[in-house]
Structure 1
Amino acid sequence: MRHQQQVKKDIDSLKITKIKETGFHFNKTLKILFVLFGRVELITLDQYVVLNIGDVYVLNENELVSFLSSGSNSVLIAQSPPNTKGKDCYRFKQIHPLSVVDKKAHEEVVKGLVLPKNHQSLVAIMLRHQILFSEKSLSKKTTECSKCEDVLDYINKHYTTDISLKHLAEHFITDKYIISHKFRKYFGFSIYHYLKEVRLFHSACQLKSSTDKIMDVALDNGFPSLRAFNQSFKEKFGLPPLTFRKKDKMNQVMDEQEDPVLFFQIEQLTAGIIDQHLLEKIKEQPYDLFG
């Protein structure tokens, strides 16, 4: 790919931690996630991804992401240094977790993650296998639109209400076409797209944590009708809301029965090559492996 040669990133942080539920936020640095045990569910503007034991996934710099509550989990995270020069960053495309895409490449990346001496070459490994394809992404220009982040914050706080371009324009004392254009130019997605994603995230959280009726979940999160909610939810998560809730309950039972120690699986993934010092640190999670 044309931009692949321009991607030069090192990994300067390696730690084991538990990923908790968080609303939409901008991921500040390139992160490579390796699930040691449990399950991690994340939502980007493009897709909904479920990561299971052994899966590897990449979060892009400046990518908008949220995490759903997925019970107990432990994740090894390799992180690149932050982009302090304000230059355009490059993003990777990953439709499926690495373990699903290419088994051989997956094993090589996992070795780079769990063996500290190899972690610097992780991005090069992924590009060599063409697992992830880089492209120039939108860089955030803070001087371009002073009100855009305020609009985003407003949506985060008032997503349950009837938000329209006219309403936002009146609230921020501007023209609705101007605010729509600047928001899309600044963030790379439309106001309506972001509003729908926020509503879907909170709807999924409510489905997981309550026994509320599907209609109530829809109305509580700003959807105008049950039909609109069902259609949007299925497009995002691949399942209607009720099926999503039932599947989540089944996954919770499976997680409780799962062995929370992944040492044997790690050894299999790395063909028996494992750093014993690292294994001891995994037992003491969360842990900064560079600390």
Structure 2
Amino acid sequence: MLSTERGVISGSDYYVYTPSALAKKIFLYPINMGLFRYEPGYSLHRNAYDSFLIMFIRRGECQVETGGRIYNAGPGQVVLLNCYEPHAYWTSKGWEAEWLHFDGKGGAGYYEAILDGGPPVISLRDTYRLEKYLHKIYLQFRECISTKEAWLNNYIVNILTELLVNRDNEHSENVSSSIIEDTIAYISEHLTDPLTLKDMADQASLSPFYFSRLFKKESGFSPHEYVIAARVNNAKFLLKSSDISIKDICFSTGFTSESSFCTTFKKETGITPSQYRFSIRN
């Protein structure tokens, strides 16, 4: 459909989608999408528009307001907004953007993980894949191509994954993430070792204090909490998939005694290892 919105240049088009009940229950889904060219002086202010917005700036520049702060967005950048909250965008020079309003299962989680308290204007090292999937969604509707909702979900997930994984980070958080990812791999490989805080900090070439803060920030666990969770998860797998004795499982997952294993397992799961094994098999 061609837009008649004031300040949007003639020829700009948009499409509206009504998701199925199943899509609302399990998928991310588009609500509307379009390719707009905006005149100088265009402005939009909303208290709410129940969705999340991805806007890829093709040409020109605009200003975005959310959370009481104003940000500038230019060519090649991506704007990600939580439109459930008050927001605005405008321009004094004009701009062109391909955009998608979406919602659905996990939408808020993706939004929070991508921004992580940072600005809603994101610079990607490479926009090829984001543009590809964003344009795929737009073309599905412009060309009236029949598409399964699972594929629409997949396209949106791919876009959000690009934003989550590949954005530039002015505060070197990508480096921090890499350090913690390496540490988690190290923990998996040495789960039966003592794995002291000093061991893990040394592996990351950081002081124990700074390592602990960084690990908590990136993973949501303290290093000790993560090691315990990993050991308990390994024990749960062995309890439900093998006939190995509880004593042997205890030592093969890095616990130093059967009593400490049983105590920790119950604290984490609410039941003893024996009860867990029985509940799975009966």
Q: TM-score range by the shorter chain?
A: 0.3 to 0.5
Larger radius of gyration: 2
Q: TM-score, normalised by structure 1?
A: 0.40
| TM-score relative to the length of structure 2 | 0.41
Q: Return the structure number with greater relative CO, CA threshold 8 A, min gap 6.
A: 1
